[in-house]
Amino acid sequence: MTLYSQQDKNIRKTWLLMCLFFIGVIAVGFVFSQIYRSPGILYFAVIFSLLMNFFSYWYSDKIILKMSGAKLADHDNHRELFHLVENLCITAGLPMPKIYIINDPAPNAFATGRNKEHAVVAVTTGLLERLNKAELEGVVAHELSHIGNRDILISTIVVVLVGFIALLSDFFLRFSFFGGRRDDRSDGRLQAILMIVGIALAILAPIAAILIQLAVSRKREFLADASASLLTRYPEGLALALEKISQYKQPMKMANKATAHLYISNPFGAKRISRLFMTHPLVEERVKALRGMEI
């Protein structure tokens, strides 16, 4: 698969994800509108799904920056970082992204935004303190590769949609237990159906959220690693950076399950989890691939 076909695939996956969210919310709204014989529930579901897609496209990056505690970097205080990013952007043919700093001793970084013209690269203070120039360059090149590969839109939108899926499951579960307005023809069977639907949503929605996150995370990391190596012409820099980052055992202060897939490395530190639920490939696999590259 070429880089350009991967970019097109990411765009298609983004639209597919938004369409599935739209259809899913409307389907749930239709079920409840039938149970409660209230067309207003369906109308609400349609409006809600449209607003969430609009909101996730235009504002999800701002939500992510707020959730991570990132602050806009000051050029005078971070001259070297700005120059490093600028030089890599010139080489990659990308516009200069906004640079944000996360005040956290854990070394990590992520990129977000809806496109390359509205992109953001965020790095932690721990990353700036622990990495040398070549290693930092490898990490920044990795994040710029996500921008160039058009990974950031789907990864950014996933954060908002996954969050709302969880909220919807909780809402409908509560709705099923406490019930709503029913007419005289309503009976125990309808209430039982309602409860079953609510419980099913509560169980399936978080699973769907995890599967969505996993679907957009692992392979894109290998592609971004490879693209970063081509950009810097020095795969060892990123390999050493990944090793240093993985050696840090403490989780980030603002670590969040919804945003974990955005970071270059697991923000929960050295926490052991099943490979089935890992949002990132093993560092050992990534380092091996980097050191096996011929530049």
pLDDT tens track for 129-161: 999 999 999 999 999 999 998 888 888 887 777
Tell me what percent of the residues of the chain surpass a pLDDT of 70. 75
Catalytic-role residue among 117, 143, 236, 284: 143
Q: What is the CATH number of the domain that holds 106?
A: 3.30.2010.10
Establish if 113 belongs to a structural domain: yes
Confidence of residue 89 (pLDDT cuts 50, 70, 90): very high
Angle subtended at Cα 265 by Cα 141 and Cα 202, rounded to the nearest 5 degrees: 125
pLDDT tens track for 276-286: 556 678 899 99
In which domain, by residue range, is 8 found? 3-64+155-215
Q: Which helix (H) or strand (E) holds 136?
A: helix 133-148
The residue-averaged pLDDT of 256-268 equals 86
The SS3 call for residue 110 is: strand
Residue of 42 and 191 predicted with greater confidence: 42
- Residue 187 and residue 252 share a domain: no
Confidence of residue 223 (pLDDT cuts 50, 70, 90): confident
Establish if 69 belongs to a structural domain: no
Lowest-confidence segment of 16-20, 132-136, 198-202 by average pLDDT: 198-202
Establish if 72 belongs to a structural domain: no
> Quick one: pLDDT at residue 198?
63
> Which residues lie across from 70 on neighbouring strands?
102
> Quick one: pLDDT at residue 169?
66
Contact assessment for residue 146 and residue 152, using Cβ atoms and an 8 Å cutoff = yes
Number of folded domains in the chain? 2
> Quick one: pLDDT at residue 91?
95
Name 165's Cβ contacts closer than 8 Å, sequence gap at least 6: 21, 205, 206, 208, 209
- Residue 142 and residue 228 share a domain: yes
- Residue 144 and residue 85 share a domain: yes
> Quick one: pLDDT at residue 191?
63
- Residue 221 and residue 145 share a domain: yes
168-to-114, 181, 216, 257 alpha-carbon distances in Å? 24, 19, 22, 17
Confidence of residue 125 (pLDDT cuts 50, 70, 90): very high
Last residue of a domain, one of 215, 231, 263: 215
Question: What is the rounded average pLDDT for all residues in the chain?
Answer: 82
Last residue of a domain, one of 190, 215, 240: 215
The residue-averaged pLDDT of 18-24 equals 79
> Quick one: pLDDT at residue 111?
96
Confidence of residue 225 (pLDDT cuts 50, 70, 90): very high
- Tell me, yes or no, if 143 is annotated catalytic: yes
- Residue 159 and residue 140 share a domain: no
Nearest to 59 by CA among 121, 119, 114: 114
